[in-house]
Structure 1
Amino acid sequence: MKRQQIINGVIALVIGVLIFVTPFIFIGLTAVKSAAEASQLGLSWPSEWLFWDNLVAVIQARNYMLLLAYFNSTVITVGAISLLVISAAMIGYVIQRRPSKWNGFIYALILAGLMIPPAVVPTIWLLKELHLFKTLHGMILIQVAYGLSFSVLLFRSFIASIPRDLDEAAIIDGAKPWQVFFKVILPLLKPVTVTVILVQSVTIFNDFTNPLYYLPGKDNVTVQLTLYNFQSQFSSQMNLLFMNILLVTIPPLIMFIFFNKQIVKGMTAGAVKG
């Protein structure tokens, strides 16, 4: 039995390496090849390592567009995450701690946000009416709207595991409702807050479709949209394209490698009946 478990574990490890590690190896090798070798799209060792040359070419492309894209993506990510954490935590707290006849309807709307796909054309019309189309703060609000449902569910489940006695004790001591939340409950939400920050940061930073729809213009470019710099209808610079992919992938990958335990802890800590 034990030997069979070891064999199954080795097989699973090999399959995992083939599925998840091989693509990264392919990206890394292609990113350091010459244009001619990279165009063959083969998993082979480069005859000449051009890491630095390709890196400089990617950064300098289109008047350092990648640096602007990193700035825009960082602004959108930080702004959206800040609003998401505060708003989702407050909504989850109210739904969990303040039962009312509206809670079922509100919870249904939250679930609908996970199931119903966004309507692009009406959203663009609304952004134009609010003068938020093609703006970073409009993109921040879009990301908050799309990530709110998932975040609220996580916060609500975690808050269900916090004893109500803490709320009652704070109220007896004279704390106001906002003080109960910000000074008693919010500090206890660190595990799930870290999970929301990490998961949503990677999602927003790596988002391709939403900036493509709602944030057109070269001044508003995000990191994922810079992939168009090296691919067109008639020609593609595969070595620079994969170097760009490598630069875009590294930050989220580092976050998952170093904080994967916190992500799992936050996802499972609130797994109670609430």
Structure 2
Amino acid sequence: MAIVVSVVVFVVPFVFILLVALMDAQQASELRFALPEEFRLWQNLVEVVQARDYILVIAFINSTVLTVTSVTLLVVLGAMVAFVLQRRATRWNGLINFLVLSGLIMPPAVVPTIWVLQRLGLFATMPGLILVEVAFGLSFTILLFRAFISGIPRELDEAAVLDGAGPLRLFFQVVLPLLRPVLVTVVLVQSVNVFNDFQTPLYFLPGDAGATVQLTLFNFQSQDLTSYNLLFMDILLITVPPLVMYLFFNRQIVAGMTSGAVKG
């Protein structure tokens, strides 16, 4: 039953996207689940890539920079915070835990965040968008790392300290290598989240120069006309990278989630 539901929910829509992406403009406008009368894979692909002075290429570069930088910061900051929260009990731990959980529960406040970025001179800039992506994903990252760190024996920390390791050396040379299973999970999940994010770049990085791949969907839609064959080809190109990542690293994602759950 679960397999049937998965096929209906995931496979059928993907096949529909693929078929429409191969059609000509007239047949695609009908939005029917049917085989293309004329296969236009290459023509549609070239037209999508060349649209608006190759904005899709620029968008892929922007999305790659955004994803790599944001996920790197999320991994380093999330692991550090999780390690400190798990290993050091202070009177501030309760407040910090509350703030971490609030990051999962409270919805993003778009207008106040824009105001803060404007005051800092970071609105409509890539560094500002990176900071927003990191802020939105940090709570989930901290919780994953903390659940895994709770299963690492404290004796390892004590042995490293006795050998003369300082705080940074203890973290980067002893603790961080042990986090590899959950680290792979965090990298993959957050990479897909940031790469597929539509709302955040739309609000915090307006303009063609900072367009990400999700915003290129507007290229083929208008109030009067929508080129569904080009739109669905664009969707297909955007969907393929995260899909490939999930297909190749599915076991690592599940292993990281399971390890954290069991050890937590």
Q: Tell me the CA shift for residue 272 of structure 1.
A: 4.0
Contact persistence 1:65–1:226 (CA under 8 A): yes
Distance 1:270 1:120, change over 3 A: same
For residue 100 of structure 1, give the secondary structure of its aligned residue in structure 2.
coil
Q: Which residue of 1 aligns with 2:20?
A: 30
Aligned positions of 1:223-262 closer than 5 A:
223-262=213-252
TM-score where L is the length of structure 2: 0.98
Q: Distance in 2 between matches of 1:158 and 1:144?
A: 20
Task: State how many pairs are aligned.
Answer: 264
Distance change (3 Å), C-alpha of 1:271 and 1:12? closer
Taking structure 1 as the reference length, the TM-score comes to: 0.95
In structure 1, the partner of 2:207 is 217
Partner of 2:256: 266
Superimposed CA distance per residue, residues 67-94 of structure 1 (whole angstroms, 9 cap, x where no aligned partner) = 0000000011011011110000000000
Is contact 1:160-1:272 (8 Å) kept?
A: no
**1:154 aligned partner:** 144
Q: Which residue number corresponds to residue 39 of structure 1?
A: 29
Aligned positions of 1:138-177 closer than 5 A: 138-177=128-167
Determine the structure 2 residue equivalent to 1:4: none
Give ranges in structure 2 of 5+ residues lacking alignment.
Answer: none
Structure 1: any 5+ residue segments left out of the alignment? 1-10
Alpha-carbon shift at residue 273 of structure 1 (Å):
6.2
Give the counterpart letter for 2:237 in structure 1: L
SS at match of 1:67: helix
Instruction: Give the alignment partner of residue 202 of structure 1, picking from 192, 210, 215.
Output: 192
Q: What is the identity, as a one-letter code, of the residue corresponding to 2:55? A: M
Paired AA for residue 200 in structure 2:
N
Partners of 2:101 and 2:39 in 1: CA distance: 50
Contact 2:148 2:263 in 1 (8 A): no
1:53 to 22, 43, 48: 43
Comparing 170-179 and 240-249, the one that deviates more: 170-179
Shift of 1:173: 1.3
The residue number in structure 2 matching 1:110 is 100
Tell me if structure 1 keeps the 8 A contact 2:149–2:179.
yes
* Structure 1 residue 135, shift from structure 2 partner: 0.6
Q: Distance in 2 between matches of 1:29 and 1:270?
A: 40
Structure 1 Cα separation of the partners of residues 20 and 252 of structure 2: 33
| 1:56 CA displacement | 0.1
Partner AA of 1:203 in structure 2 = N
Q: Is the Cα–Cα contact under 8 Å of residues 137 and 190 in structure 2 kept in the other structure? A: yes
Give 3-state SS (helix, strand or coil) of 1:132's partner: coil
- Distance (Å, rounded) in 1 between the aligned partners of 2:263 and 2:34: 52
C-alpha distance in structure 2 between counterparts of 1:12 and 1:119, whole Å: 37
SS in 2 for 1:255: helix
**Structure 1 residue ranges (4+ consecutive) displaced by more than 6 angstroms after TM superposition:** none
2:177 and 2:9 map into 1 onto residues whose CA distance is 39
TM-aligned CA distance change 1:273 to 1:263, over 3 Å: closer
Whether the 8 Å CA contact 2:185–2:252 is kept in 1: the answer is yes
